[in-house]
């Protein structure tokens, strides 16, 4: 058998072209890795962890028991420190997790004793609990404010067709107008209406008969789109127009957008006979800087 090393290379002669030694060369074992290659290889699994585990989470240092990290089996931390995965260490031998450690202490406190964070940190800790897949913590956080109230709010917004799309449209229109006018702010008209059928206040007694007993030709006469940039509604819920306005402003503000709004009247377009559109129109002012 011809052996190839890093220093010597034996070349085959023409006479050996059909020899069995060449066939054996096809099954040579790989050469022994160099010291540089060996240094780059990951350590053999499984990885062993001490009972007291020093941690470096994004530059913040923590110390906890291995059993704490493994408290719940179906979490990312339990998987990371199961021994099946390699966890790198820093220069001081701390196990490194490449994640912002600002709220990791709250994660550890829950794993240790079930403690929940104060209300002002609930949303942020919830995001960390999602990242580490800590189901019991997620369940607990969803049952307290502000996340419990957010679940109720989202149930209401689920009744709004295209709610998120309309928010994006508000932002895009305001940005385009501000850029076109080289202005610090932009204004747009938004219609928010709860009832599908627009009527005048003094015709309320006839609302039901008009709604359920009108002919197809009358139905077409009532088909109407207010002359606004964006329109929200209708919906069926106890929550009213002011509740939806609060949601719109809150969601825009959460994205860092400064919003002011005021009612500037109603559509007042004539529909049929003595019926007029009375959907409220709001002026939204988006300030960009």
CA angle (90 as vertex; 85, 96 as ends), nearest 5 = 45
Residue 226: its pLDDT value, please?
87
Residues of the chain with pLDDT > 90, as a percent, come to 62
Q: In the chain, where does the domain assigned CATH 3.30.710.10 lie?
A: 52-144
Please give the mean pLDDT across all residues of the chain. 82
Q: What residues pair up with 283 in beta bridges, in sequence order?
A: 189, 262
Q: How far apart are CA 181 and CA 162, in angstroms?
A: 28
What pLDDT, in 10s, does the model give residues 160-218? 889 999 999 999 999 999 999 999 999 999 999 887 654 544 444 444 444 445 555 55
Q: How far apart are CA 283 and CA 286, in angstroms?
A: 10
Question: Is there a cis peptide before residue 234, judged by omega within 30 degrees of 0?
Answer: yes
Strand 185-192 to strand 60-65: parallel, antiparallel, or no bridges (unpaired)? unpaired
Residue 193: count other Cβ atoms within 10 Å of its Cβ: 22
Give SS3 for 140: helix
Q: Per-residue confidence at 43, pLDDT binned at 50, 70, 90? A: low
Torsion angle in degrees (nearest 10) through CA of 192, 229, 284, 167:
80
Task: Identify the residue with better confidence: 40 or 247.
Answer: 247
| 248: nearest Cα among 165, 153, 167 | 167
Residues of the chain with pLDDT > 70, as a percent, come to 74
Task: Identify the residue with better confidence: 62 or 7.
Answer: 62
- Fold (topology level) of 52-144: Potassium Channel Kv1.1; Chain A (3.30.710)
């Amino acid at each position: 058998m011809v052996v190839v090393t890093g220093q010597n290379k034996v070349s085959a002669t023409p006479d050996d072209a059909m020899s069995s030694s060449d066939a054996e060369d096809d099954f040579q074992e790989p050469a022994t890795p160099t010291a540089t290659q060996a240094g780059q290889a990951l350590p053999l699994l499984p990885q062993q962890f001490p009972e007291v585990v020093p941690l470096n989470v994004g530059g913040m240092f923590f110390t906890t028991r291995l059993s704490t990290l493994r408290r719940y089996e179906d979490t990312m931390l339990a998987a990371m420190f199961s021994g099946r995965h390699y966890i790198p260490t820093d220069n001081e031998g701390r196990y490194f997790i490449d994640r912002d450690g600002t709220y990791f202490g709250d994660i550890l406190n829950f794993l240790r004793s079930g403690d929940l964070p104060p209300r002002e940190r609930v949303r942020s800790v919830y995001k960390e609990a999602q990242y580490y897949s800590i189901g019991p913590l997620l369940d607990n956080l969803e049952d307290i404010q502000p996340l419990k109230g957010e679940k109720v709010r989202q149930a209401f917004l689920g009744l709004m067709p295209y709610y998120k799309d309309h928010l994006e449209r508000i932002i895009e229109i305001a940005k385009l107008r501000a850029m076109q006018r080289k202005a610090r702010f932009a204004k747009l008209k938004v219609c928010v209406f709860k009832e599908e059928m627009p009527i005048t206040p003094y015709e309320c007694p006839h609302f039901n008969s008009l709604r359920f007993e009108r002919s197809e030709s009358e139905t077409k006469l009532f088909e109407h789109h207010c002359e606004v940039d964006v329109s929200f509604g209708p919906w069926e819920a106890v929550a009213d127009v002011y509740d939806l306005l609060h949601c719109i402003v809150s969601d825009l503000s959460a994205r860092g957008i400064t919003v002011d709004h005021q009612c500037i009247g109603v559509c007042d377009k004539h529909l049929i006979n003595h019926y007029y559109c009375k959907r409220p129109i709001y002026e939204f002012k988006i300030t960009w800087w």
